[in-house]
Structure 1
Amino acid sequence: MQTDRYLEPHQARKRAPTTFEDLLGDAIERAFAEGAHTLPELVASLNRTGPSSENGQAWTEQSFQALMARLGN
């Protein structure tokens, strides 16, 4: 007997997101909604609207990619 399948959107999550991660996710969604389609556009939007990077510095393409790689593990 096969059970019904369902989508569990947080099935890969190992922990709840931090406040910083929630704010960053909201800012990324806003950037996409405002038309950002490339990494430079996304980074520019984050630098305009925040939040700052984890170390309080402005975002760079490299710092954004490094954080996404770390959070994706």
Structure 2
Amino acid sequence: MTPYLEIHQSRHREPTAYEFKLAHTLEEIFTHVGHELADVIEGLNARQVHAPDGKPWTEQSFRDEMHRLGA
């Protein structure tokens, strides 16, 4: 039997504008800056893409948000 993969099968809803912006910015950081957590935090803060509470990202706030988003 061939496995069936439905596109976006893990989504429960469409991503929000915030989630799209975060994803796009993360792709840019991974492409041009690096993959280390410190690089990601620095890249997000340099681009002023703030944490959900409006504050600059920390390693802990990023981990918490990725956990909340299910990433």
What is the root-mean-square deviation in Å for CA atoms of aligned residues? 1.7
Which residue in the other structure is 1:68 paired with?
66
TM-score for the superposition, normalised by structure 2: 0.87
State the number of aligned residues. 71
1:47 aligns with 2:45: yes
User: Contact 1:43/1:61 (CA < 8 Å) preserved in 2?
Assistant: yes
Structure exhibiting the larger radius of gyration computed from Cα positions: 1
2:22 corresponding residue in structure 1: 24
Superposition deviation, residue 5 in structure 1? 5.1
TM-score by structure 1 length? 0.85
Structure 2 Cα separation of the partners of residues 47 and 7 of structure 1: 36
Task: Indicate whether 1:10 and 2:8 are aligned.
Answer: yes
- Greater relative contact order (CA < 8 Å, ≥ 6 in sequence): 1
Stretches of structure 1 lacking an aligned partner (at least 5 in a row): none
What fraction of aligned residue pairs are identical, expressed as a percent?
39
